[in-house]
Amino acid sequence: MTTFADGVLHTHRELDDMLGRRWRKPRFVKRPWLRWVLGLGFLAYLIASYTTVEVNWNRVYEGLERGWKFVIAFASPDFFSRSSDIWDGMVESVIMTVAASVVGIAISIPIGLGAARNIAPLPVYLICRGIVAVSRALQEIIVAILLVAIFGFGPLAGFLTLSFATIGFLSKLLAEDIEAMDKVQAEAVRASGSSWLQWINYGVQPQVMPRLIGLSMYRIDINFRESAILGLVGAGGIGATLNTAFDRYEYDTAAAILILIIVVVMALEYLSGIIRAKVQ
């Protein structure tokens, strides 16, 4: 041992200490007492919150029967006795969806560019992030209630609501995709002496296009489903028809409407799958 040089001897000693010692992955919360307090505290909170939820079992028993009727109605959906109402509602919903999606996506693209920190200057970034934040903070139903109050009942309020909601959704996700792009590909385009617009068109757009198309398809899907909800607050579309059907206790007609909504959403889902596979 003494024949070893100083440095070598030293490293051997450190290793000797380590050999035979147990190894565990370092804990996320290092202090044991804090780890236990956090864990037990969460468990206690969970138990406390479950016990505060009251369940009226008699009411549930009565409701089960009503629910069952509703479920049974799906076995015999009635597409025909209100067919013209359903058709009008559907057409209105589709128009609302398409119009709102086109307008929303068109506005989302410049805002999405502005909300990406790696390509927008700070003032533009802050403004665009602000718009995104406002749009995301206000839930569709709340916006719809406000817009129905301003523009009256009907699909105009629904169209505006969906456009507004699309902006928050799409701009944010587009901006995040732009922020995650490969910087060097864009840099190479800039190095050729391109203008800003050319840089976006050649260096940025090809990188984010598949995601933009995928998100747009997804948003069209969401907008259609939302259009069914917005009818409940008077903003037009198939939701208004559905609401009327519920009010009249016409569960078979309501079931027919729900089935149609499901079919349309599934068709959109299938379509977007095909399109996304094409553009990747």
Partner 1 sequence: MLRLEKLTKTYKTGDQALKAVDLEVPEGQVMALIGPSGAGKSTLIRCVNRLVEPTGGKAWLGDIELTGLSQGGLRKARRRMGMIFQEYALVERLTVMENVLSGRLGYVGFWRSFIRRFPQSDVDEAFRLLDRVGLLHMADKRADELSGGQRQRVGICRALIQDPALLLVDEPTASLDPKTSRQIMRLIVELCKERALAAIINIHDVALAQMFVQRVIGLELGSIVFDGNPDALTPEVLTQIYGEEDWEATIETVEDEDAEVAAK
Nearer to partner 1, 179 or 182 (CB): 182
Q: Minimum distance between the CB of residue 211 and partner 1, rounded to whole angstroms?
A: 11
Nearer to partner 1, 89 or 203 (CB): 203
Rounded-to-integer distance, Cα 278 and Cα 280, Å: 6
225 contributes a contact to partner 1 by CB under 8 A: no
Q: Minimum distance between the CB of residue 192 and partner 1, rounded to whole angstroms?
A: 5
197 contributes a contact to partner 1 by CB under 8 A: yes
By CB under 8 A, name the one of 195, 247, 274, 277 that touches partner 1. Answer: 195
- Which amino acid makes up residue 114? G
Nearer to partner 1, 94 or 189 (CB): 189
Q: Could you give the angle at the alpha carbon of 251 between the alpha carbons of 255 and 159, nearest 5°?
A: 60
Residue (of 211, 7, 216) closest to 97 by Cα position:
216
Residue environment code for 162-197, b if the CB has 16+ CB neighbours within 10 A, otherwise e: bbbbbbbbbbbbbbebbeebeeeebeebeeeebeee
* Structure token digits, residue 69: 């009727």
Judged by CB under 8 A, the stretch of 72-80, 104-112, 122-130, 198-206 that binds partner 1 is 198-206
By CB under 8 A, name the one of 26, 32, 121, 193 that touches partner 1. Answer: 193
Q: Minimum distance between the CB of residue 213 and partner 1, rounded to whole angstroms?
A: 12
Judged by CB under 8 A, the stretch of 26-34, 60-68, 204-212, 261-269 that binds partner 1 is 204-212
121 contributes a contact to partner 1 by CB under 8 A: no
Name every residue whose Cβ is closer than 8 Å to that of residue 264 and which is 6 or more positions away in sequence: 224
Q: Could you give the angle at the alpha carbon of 173 between the alpha carbons of 234 and 127, nearest 5°?
A: 85
Q: Which of 25-33's residues contact partners 24+ apart within 8 Å by CB, and which partners?
A: none
Rounded-to-integer distance, Cα 170 and Cα 65, Å: 42
Nearer to partner 1, 44 or 209 (CB): 209
Residue (of 96, 99, 124) closest to 110 by Cα position:
124
104 contributes a contact to partner 1 by CB under 8 A: no
> Are residues 120 and 238 in contact, defined by beta-carbon separation less than 8 angstroms?
no
Nearer to partner 1, 5 or 191 (CB): 191
Nearer to partner 1, 199 or 251 (CB): 199
Mark 161-190 with x for binding to partner 1 (rule: CB under 8 A) and - for no binding: ---------------------x-xx-xxxx
Judged by CB under 8 A, the stretch of 87-95, 114-122, 194-202, 216-224 that binds partner 1 is 194-202
For CA atoms 189, 191, 192, 193, the dihedral sign is positive
Q: Minimum distance between the CB of residue 107 and partner 1, rounded to whole angstroms?
A: 20
81 contributes a contact to partner 1 by CB under 8 A: no
Task: For residue 260, give Cα distances in angstroms to 139, 222, 223, 270.
Answer: 25, 15, 15, 15
> Are residues 108 and 208 in contact, defined by beta-carbon separation less than 8 angstroms?
no
Nearer to partner 1, 207 or 244 (CB): 207
Residues that bind partner 1 (CB under 8 A): 182, 184-185, 187-195, 197-199, 201-203, 206-207, 209-210
